[in-house]
Each structure stands twice: as structure tokens, then as C-alpha cells.
Amino acid sequence: MAVSSSFVVTPKLETLLSNHLNHSSSSSPAPLGLIGIRSLPMNNRTRRSLIQRTRCEISASKAASISALEQLKTSALDRYTKERSSIVVIGLSIHTAPVEMREKLAIPEAEWPRAIAELCGLNHIEEAAVLSTCNRMEIYVLALSQHRGVKEVTEWMSKTSGIPVSEISQHRFLLYNKDVTQHLFEVSAGLDSLVLGEGQILAQVKQVVTVGQKVNGFGRNISGLFKHAITVGKRVRTETNIAAGAVSVSSAAVELALMKLPESFSHVSSARMLVLGAGKMGKLVIKHLVSKGCTKMVVVNRSEEKVAAIREELPPGVEIIYKPFDEMLACAAEADVVFTSTASEAPLFLKEHVEVLPPVRDARLFIDISVPRNVGSCVAELDGARVYNVDDLKEVVAANKEDRMRKAMEAQTIITEESKLFEAWRDSLETVPTIKKFRGLAERIRATEFEKFLSKAGNGMDNKTKKAVEDLSRGIVNKLLHGPMQHLRCDGSDSRTLGETLENMQALNRMYGLEAEILEEKIRAKVEQK
């Protein structure tokens, strides 16, 4: 969005800043004030000096080349004068970070609302969302400043996980605006998954929206991005059939187990299977085992209800034996393969637990698809155990690469098309503050002039006539606004029309000084949020 060169700090903005400075002077000292001004003892002279800074008065020698707003951008208030807030993703995934780091950063779904609230409480963050799965931990934000927003979020991640900022920075990836759109659409379509086209990630993206809709910080830009990502995920799977033959993480875990099963097992049904956890992942493991010919397995879970419900969904002849968690080790002693998929934040199997288990043919397999991990890394040191986690599933998905790549190319065409639509929609949102402020300005003028008319008319006018005159004034204003409003509305589908719309918006902002009011509202919202 272009900006006016005639921007000035209005009296309302000056009052707002003055009020905040008054507040800062009476509160306890802090390293930085809310709006980036170091907290200092306040007297009238200091206060006037700080407010004077925000005026960004232009010297005669620089007036031709530097606008007031450009100077304001370099002042203490620069984060509030961005031409446009940026969508940013700060993420770590199976492609960039080891499981040990991801499990420390993982945020349970129940904690997403708290995380969003804390993120939006940071100085430069307006909106936020959390996408935390076994393969990725990604934080999406709408940031007033890219650099400062990334710095604040990274420090927040460090504080909540206990991982040093330097270590997070080494493994994180950063994307901005259009690249964020491209990335999330690829994630939703299953193109960034370990198993191309897997369906679980689309359900997880949907869950972000479900949880986010109940939280204030899940704002228009971020929610619009995730909702569009769901549309893209559905469209890619429908039009490319990319999910056909593709497997989920749970399915890949089963295939890995069968690949690693000793040759002495003539058939999968001869191996003793144990599944820990009957949640979504555990349920899928059970179903994939059945699809591979397994007819009997033990399922350990905290309650029997979920296991009974899964049993009802399986074909006749499949035996599911339920055991409570306090019998976990006894069940493991009688298992050749142990799948773990629980939400436990502490390991369920440690070296001292496994080394006392009776030996099995070759070695006991532990397939751990939980994040945080349910099987401690120390278990792999034992001769009688082989441990695999989500990072080891890469071996399973190496087949049929050519066909998956062809479908991925088809999906990229769809993603490119949908990315343009989303970016155009986001561009069209730029006019919303101008429309609101222009309507408000017109209404204030109308109301003021109507009050002047009533004052001149005196008390001789009856209510019916007053209403008729007021309706007339509203009608005139609405008719005058109709043309400008039509030229400020655009769905973003036509790039030429969108360009013209943004030019119209900029012209109105210049003519009526609307940018100052829009900026005041942005600052006030952040001040009130803090």
C-alpha cells in the first residue's frame, strides 16, 4: 500500500502517546516501554521532547526527499507504521530439526489457546496460530515488524521449551508472506509430509481452525490463511488422487515393523503385536495391522471404552485384547513388536524396564510414533531391542517416488493458482480500514451539520419534521458515498481491478487524511491489548 507524504501525528495520536507516557512514568521501570521508548523519569520537558519525536517534523533541506511518514518509520514508533503487517511462520520440522528438539517444543492441543494469547501479547504480534504435530512445530503470526516479530517469537519458544535461542535459530526455518502461503498450502496438501499425500495433516490443519475460532488472537488474516489451506488440501486430494496408495505415519509405522520383522516369522499373524494407546494414531496402527493380515493383538490403554469402540469397527475374526496401563510391562514381555502412540510427556520404556524383559527371536522391536517419545533413546543400547521413531519412517516411504513426484507437480499447479487467489483476497482487505474511516468521517460531518441545523431552527420544529430532515441528510450522504464505496470494494479476483481499487484507497487517504486515524487505531489496539 502506498502511503501519503503528508502524514502527520494528529492531536488524538499525541494525546494517546502522552497518556501512555504518563502511564509509563508511574509504573515500575522496564527495559523497554510498550511502544519501544526506554522508560525514563518523566517531566514536562521530557514528555514534550518525546512527543515531538513522534511528530517527525521535516527540515526544509530534506522535505523534498523524505516524507514525514518515512521519518516516523525510523523513529521509536516504526513498528506501528508498517505499510502492511507481515504473515510469518517460524517453524521446525522433521526436515530441519531432530526429534529430541521437536518434542521439547511440542505444544499439546489443549495449550494452543494459551499459546496464542501469549504470542499476541508480544509487542509486535497481532495474530497467531500454532500447528504442532509429531513431524512439525510451526507458529504462524501476523507481525507488525518482521525482524522484531521473529525475535520475540523465537525468544518465547526458547522460554517455553528451555532450548537456547541460538539452538532454535540453528534448526528453525523462516518464511514470509507469499512464501508462508505456499508452505502452508503444501503442508495441507500433504506435499511437505514424510509420507506424500497423507491425510492426517489435513485433519490437523482443520483442528487449528476449530481451536482457533474460540480465541481472539486467531484473527482475520491467519484464520483466512488456514481456512484457504483446508480448501487447497481437499482440492489437491480430489483432483490429483495424491492420497491413493499413500500411507499415514501410522501406516508407515506398520510397514516399517514388517520390514524389520525377522525372516523367522513366516507371516505377520505369527508375530505377537502390542499397541500402546488407543487414540487417533493408535487406532490407525490397529487398522493397518489388520489390513496386513494381523488377526490378534493386545491394546494397552487407560480406559477400555476406546478399545471397545475400535473393536466394533474391525471385521469379524480379529481379536483385540484390552489391558490396563498398569499391565504394560507384563504385556511387553510377551510381545515381539511394541507400537507406542500415547500422549505421555515422559518415556514409558527406559533401559531398566526393557533389560529385564524375557528375550524374543532376534530382537524386540519398538516402533515409537509419539512426540514426545514414549521409548527412551537409552533402550536402543540394549542388544535385545531395536528402537525406531518417527524419523526412521523415511525408509518406508522411499518407494514409488516417480509416481508421487508426478502427482506432486500436479498439486503444485493447484497450489500456485490458489496462492494467487489468497494473496489477492488479502490485498483486498487493505481497503477495509479506509472504508470504515471514510464512512465514519462522513457520518461525523453529517451529524455535526444536522445538530447545527437543529440549533438554528430552534424549538419550533416537530419530531416528524426533524426525522424527515435527518433521513434526508442520511440519504444524501449515502448517495454521495455510493460511488467511492463501489470503487473501494474488490474481491481480489481481478488483478487490474485490484490495482485500481488500491489506487483509489490511497487517493482517499491522502485527500481526507485517513492514514493518521488508521494508525491511531492500530496503536490504540496494541496499547489496550498490553
Q: Domain limits at 301?
A: 249-398
Instruction: Please tell me whether residues 309 and 231 are part of one structural domain.
Output: no
Q: Is residue 55 part of a domain?
A: no
Nearest-angstrom CA–CA distance, 253 and 375: 15
Same domain, 158 and 215: yes
* E-assigned strand segments in 208-304: 273-276, 296-300
Q: Identify which of 311, 280, 315 has the alpha carbon closest to the alpha carbon of residue 298.
A: 311
Do residues 142 and 201 share a domain? yes
In a domain, 24, yes or no: no
166 shares a domain with 141: yes
In a domain, 225, yes or no: yes
**pTM for the complete prediction?**
0.58
Pick from 366, 398, 430: which residue ends a domain?
398
**CA distance to 73, 127, 303, 415, 435, per residue, from 86 (Å):** 16, 10, 45, 20, 21
* pLDDT higher than 80, residue 19: no
By C-alpha distance, which of 419, 426, 402, 326 is closest to 84?
426
Of 347, 374, 339, the C-alpha closest to 256 is 339
Radius of gyration of the chain (CA): 30
- The verdict on 256 and 223 lying in the same domain is no
- Residue 230, all three cell numbers: 483446508
CA distance 337 to 297: 10
At a CB cut-off of 8 Å and minimum separation 6, what does 264 contact?
361, 362
Q: Which of 126, 204, 128, 132 is nearest to 161 (CA)?
A: 132
Q: Is residue 42 situated within a structural domain?
A: no
Tell whether 349 is covered by a domain: yes
C-alpha to C-alpha distance for 172 and 138, rounded to whole angstroms: 9
Residues 184 and 281 in one domain: no
Q: Is residue 403 part of a domain?
A: no
For residues 226 and 358, membership in a common domain is answered with: no
Query: Which of the residues 134, 294, 331, 490 is marked catalytic?
Result: 134
Backbone phi, psi, residue 387, to 5°: -115, 135
Same domain? 92 vs 222: yes
pLDDT tens-digit readout, 507-516 = 777 777 776 6
Are 107 and 158 contained in the same domain? yes
Question: Among the three residues 398, 431, 466, which one is the final residue of a domain in this structure?
Answer: 398
In a domain, 513, yes or no: yes
**Domain C-terminal end among 398, 430, 451:** 398
pLDDT in tens, 36-93: 333 334 444 444 444 444 444 434 434 433 443 344 334 434 444 445 689 999 999 9
Residue 371 lies in a domain: yes
- Mean local confidence (pLDDT), 215-225: 93
Average pLDDT over residues 460-467: 85
Active site residue 134: yes
Domains contained in the chain, number: 3
Residue 526 pLDDT class (50, 70, 90 cuts): low
What was the pLDDT predicted at 435?
74
Query: d(Cα 75, Cα 35) in Å, to the nearest integer?
Result: 10
